[in-house]
Amino acid sequence: MIAHGEPAAYFTFASLAEIGVTHATTTRHCGGIGVPSARPSPFVGDAGEVLAGAGLAMSRVAWGRQVHAAGVGRVGEAGGFVGDVDVLVTTEPGVPLAIFTADCLAIVLADVEAPALAVAHVGWRGTVRGAAQAAFTAVVAAGARPDRLRAAVSPSIGPCCYEVDAPVMDALASAYPEAWRAWVTPSGDPSRVMLDLWAANAALLAGAGLDPARIDNPRLCTGCRPETFYSYRKGHRGRLATVAALPTI
């Protein structure tokens, strides 16, 4: 990832920039990001200005009220509030799609030749409910070709910091009876495990049809970097945003 500013207000992915996707993942130095609800826009003050400065048309930004599920919202040329969804998809050039996180993964999927773009908010509940697979299915249905798709995963909680208990393990085992064990390692507490959401969602995207070599994950843990990111697990209540738009040319 490439840092912008000192201290960094946002990061970008070289893999997305090289195909023309305008995007940014904010840090805690970006400014205030409000609650994602129907109105007003959650991008207020410095955050909106910083993202506009990154080349994003924030007057057309689209967002949803994230509910830790796998619902998909289709976004038109005007953007705006989409509803209670954790996945957004568009074929409209220049319309920014926004995901809000503070440990969960923000996943961007883009095929600029189609053109088609999807973003997804994925925590452990979204993993169980298939949010990453829903995003893949939605972007392919919008015209993307799996062999052209690029994916990027925002800074998020890593397996070094993400200790989970029996209810999470039970939900994973119910959804993925065989696969889930490859995504956990022992913790110091015999009743808990360390969960690797990065490995889980990479495997789920690969199972859906995405080449793992086309997934860009810098493996930046929000829990390990409190000076740069917000982390719910570390007691922060701020929000990060990952915003992406298809090229306009």
Q: How do 116-122 and 105-111 pair as beta strands? A: antiparallel
pLDDT tens digit sequence for 169-189: 999 999 999 999 999 999 989
- Long-range contacts at 211-214 (CB < 8 A, ≥ 24 apart): 211/146, 211/147, 211/149, 214/149, 214/150, 214/151
The DSSP code sequence of 104-173 is SEEEEEEETTTTEEEEEEE-HHHHHHTHHHHHHHHHHHTT--TTT-EEEE-SB--TTT-EE-HHHHHHHH
**For residue 33, is pLDDT > 70?**
yes
Identify the structural domains of the chain with CATH numbers, from first to last.
Answer: 2-159+215-245 (3.60.140.10)
pLDDT tens digit sequence for 116-167: 999 999 999 999 999 999 999 999 999 999 999 999 999 999 999 999 999 9
In sign, the C-alpha dihedral spanning 103, 192, 68, 244 is positive
Q: Give the pLDDT score at 45.
A: 74
Assign 59 to helix, strand or coil: helix
Q: How far is the C-alpha of 137 from the C-alpha of 19, rounded, in Å?
A: 21
Question: Do 52 and 58 contact (CB within 8 A), yes or no?
Answer: yes
pLDDT tens digit sequence for 92-114: 999 999 999 999 999 999 999 99
Q: Give the pLDDT score at 75.
A: 98
Does the model's pTM come out above 0.85? yes
